[in-house]
């Protein structure tokens, strides 16, 4: 009896390939029949039909065997297929997420616009609401802080002095520099230099205002306020000075804050006073948006006119809430103090035609001369009074009394002594 040979098991991939070819053949029977008819074109029609039925039966059996003996697909191919099947779903998911994110951003933008409109309505409750977009954009608050406002009014003030100033005048200039963040300083000017050179220093420092303090005879302080280089300029005599260190007031304000400028109503009574008000505003007022300034107010500069003089004071603004929950504003003096007596107002910077001259001004030299004359007059009157007293005493001597024995005896003894000598 011959030995039976064991047939080798087909490879799973071969089975899959065969099953695929069988399926393709079953799905397109016309193509397979055409191929068979082309190979056996000489056979008869009944043979063709029998062969066609046999091939269909064989294909059905192969399909059943392929379904029964289908081998497991390797893990790598499964992973690739899963990834290929999963990619459309992932793309749809990411698209949905991105759509959700865009919808959230749109909602946030809508909420921000609604909040801006609500703020506009609250701020303009008393007035009419702006209708155009440009008006709304102007009314909306700026994106940056108040300190980053645009610096358009570029006013810079040069603060300097001449040589020979007293310690009190020097401390006054230091106080003004601390209170004016838009100020610049320079070295002292020589007494022999002309005042016109101050205009050149202002041009080098890029300043359009100037505060120049000069001292004469080491005791008289004069203050110049000028708009450089074209003018006008004012010359004052400083009657009294009190610095912040010597006053030691309770008030205190931050360094670099902008001051409020308060002027007495008397500044509107005369043209030269109106000009002084404008000069004070441009010299002492810190412009809005200056890089070294802070964007709020906490102190006030007051300029008052008393006895034809300008009195300067600096006060701190304090807001306190009382028991009734109402805000009470009080002022505490900070310093410094000084009194300015106007001498002349010139058309140019540190010179030019005289616009105004104070008729009531008396120079310190004349005042000192009058004081000396008064003291000299006192001395002369004292000498005259002394001579008058001596003359009066000489006229009051009584004549000799002949009945006074003791007086006569003393006189006789004196006469005898004179004769003996």
Q: What is the pLDDT of residues 354-413, one digit of tens each?
A: 999 999 999 999 999 988 888 888 888 888 999 999 988 888 877 777 777 666 666 677
* Confidence category of residue 112, pLDDT binned at 50, 70, 90: confident
C-alpha span between 70 and 120 (Å, rounded): 75
SS3 97: helix
Q: What is the pLDDT of residue 14?
A: 58
Between CA 290 and CA 157 the distance in angstroms is 13
**Residue-wise over 299-333: b if at least 16 C-beta within 10 A, else e?**
bbbbbbbeeebbbbbbbbbeeeeeeeeeeeeeeeb
Residue listed under structure tokens 């002095």: 161
Name 224's bridge partners: 212, 235
pLDDT of residue 189: 92
Q: Which two tokens stand for residue 53?
A: 């039925």
Q: What is the pTM of this model?
A: 0.57
CA distances (Å), origin 333, targets 25, 40, 117, 260, 366 = 109, 125, 43, 14, 34
Tell me the domains of the chain and their CATH numbers. Answer: 157-366 (3.40.50.10480)
pLDDT at 11 over 50: yes
pLDDT score, position 29: 46
Decide: 129 and 120 in contact? Cβ < 8 Å. Answer: yes
Mean pLDDT, the chain, integer: 77
Q: What is the pLDDT of residue 321?
A: 87
Of 34 and 21, the structure prediction assigns the larger pLDDT to 21
- The answer to whether residue 305 scores a pLDDT higher than 70 is yes
Model confidence at 144: pLDDT above 50 = no
SS3 319: strand
Q: Give backbone dihedrals phi and psi of 373, rounded to 5 degrees, phi first.
A: -65, -40
pLDDT band at 151 (very low <50, low <70, confident <90, very high): confident
Least confident span in 3-7, 64-68, 194-198, 264-268: 64-68
For residue 243, give both structure tokens.
Answer: 């610095």
Q: What Å distances lie between residue 342 and 224, 339, 346, CA to CA?
A: 10, 10, 12
Instruction: Measure the CA–CA gap between 268 and 144, rounded to whole angstroms.
Output: 39
For residue 259, give the H/E element and its range: strand 257-263
Q: Pick the closest to residue 173 from 258, 260, 240, 241 (CA basis).
A: 241
Q: Cα–chain-centroid distance for residue 295?
A: 5
The pLDDT of residue 360 is: 93
User: CB neighbours (10 Å) of residue 291?
Assistant: 9
Q: Integer distance in angstroms from the first to the last C-alpha of the chain? A: 210
Instruction: Return the sign of the alpha-carbon dihedral for residues 146, 147, 151, 157.
Output: positive
Both tokens assigned to 239? 């009657």
Comparing 69 with 134, which gets the higher pLDDT? 134
**CB-CB contact of 363 with 341 (8 Å):** no
* Of 134, 106, 130, nearest in space to 117 by CA: 130
**Cα–Cα dist 123/110, whole Å:** 20
Report d(CA 76, CA 342) in Å as an integer: 101
Give me 31's structure tokens.
Answer: 């193509």
Q: How many residues does the chain have?
A: 421
Residue of 1 and 248 predicted with greater confidence: 248
Indicate whether 126 pLDDT > 60: no
pLDDT of residue 120: 75
pLDDT bracket for residue 118 (50, 70, 90): confident
Residue 6 has pLDDT above 70, yes or no: no
pLDDT more than 70, % of the chain: 66
pLDDT for the residue numbered 121: 76
What per-residue confidence (pLDDT) applies to 70?
Answer: 45
Q: Look-up: residue for tokens 């790598």?
A: 76
Burial label, 207 (beta-carbon count in 10 A; 0-12, 13-18, 19+): buried
Find residue 157's DSSP bridge partners.
183, 209
Indicate the range of 221-225, 328-332, 390-394 predicted with least confidence. 390-394
């Amino acid at each position: 009896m011959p030995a039976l040979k064991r047939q080798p098991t087909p490879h799973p991939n071969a089975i899959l390939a065969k099953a695929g070819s069988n399926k393709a053949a079953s799905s397109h029977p016309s193509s397979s029949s055409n191929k068979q008819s082309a190979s056996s074109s000489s056979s008869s029609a009944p043979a063709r039909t029998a062969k066609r039925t046999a091939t269909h039966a064989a294909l059905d059996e192969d399909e059943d065997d392929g379904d029964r003996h289908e081998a497991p697909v390797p893990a790598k191919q499964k992973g690739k297929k899963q990834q290929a099947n999963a990619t459309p779903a992932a793309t749809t998911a990411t698209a949905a997420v991105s759509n959700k994110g865009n919808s959230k951003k749109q909602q946030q933008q809508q909420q921000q616009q609604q909040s801006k409109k609500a703020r506009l309505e609250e701020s303009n409750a008393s007035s009419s609401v702006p209708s155009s977009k440009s008006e709304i954009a102007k009314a909306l608050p700026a994106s940056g802080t108040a300190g980053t406002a645009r610096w358009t009014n570029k006013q810079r003030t040069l603060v300097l002095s001449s040589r020979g100033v007293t310690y009190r005048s020097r401390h006054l200039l230091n106080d003004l520099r601390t209170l004016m963040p838009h100020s610049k300083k320079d070295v002292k000017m020589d007494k022999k230099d002309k005042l016109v050179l101050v205009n050149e220093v202002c041009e080098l420092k890029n300043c359009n205002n100037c505060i120049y303090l000069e001292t004469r005879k080491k005791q008289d302080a004069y203050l110049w306020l000028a708009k450089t280089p074209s003018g006008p300029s004012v010359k004052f005599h400083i009657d009294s000075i009190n610095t912040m260190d010597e006053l030691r007031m309770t008030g205190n304000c931050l360094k670099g804050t902008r001051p409020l400028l308060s002027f007495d109503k008397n500044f509107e009574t005369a043209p030269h006073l109106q000009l002084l008000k404008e000069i004070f505003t441009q010299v002492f007022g810190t412009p809005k948006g200056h890089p070294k300034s802070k964007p709020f107010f906490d102190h006030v500069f007051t300029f008052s006119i008393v006895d034809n003089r300008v009195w300067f004071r600096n006060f701190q603004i304090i807001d306190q809430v009382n028991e009734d929950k109402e805000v009470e504003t009080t002022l505490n003096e900070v310093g410094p103090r000084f009194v300015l007596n106007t001498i002349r107002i010139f058309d140019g910077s540190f010179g030019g035609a005289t616009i105004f001259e104070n008729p009531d001004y008396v120079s310190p030299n004349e005042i000192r001369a009058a004081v000396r004359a008064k003291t000299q007059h006192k001395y002369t009157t004292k000498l005259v009074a002394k001579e008058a007293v001596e003359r009066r005493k000489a006229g009051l001597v009584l004549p000799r009394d002949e009945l006074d024995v003791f007086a006569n005896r003393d006189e006789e003894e004196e006469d005898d002594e004179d004769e003996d000598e």
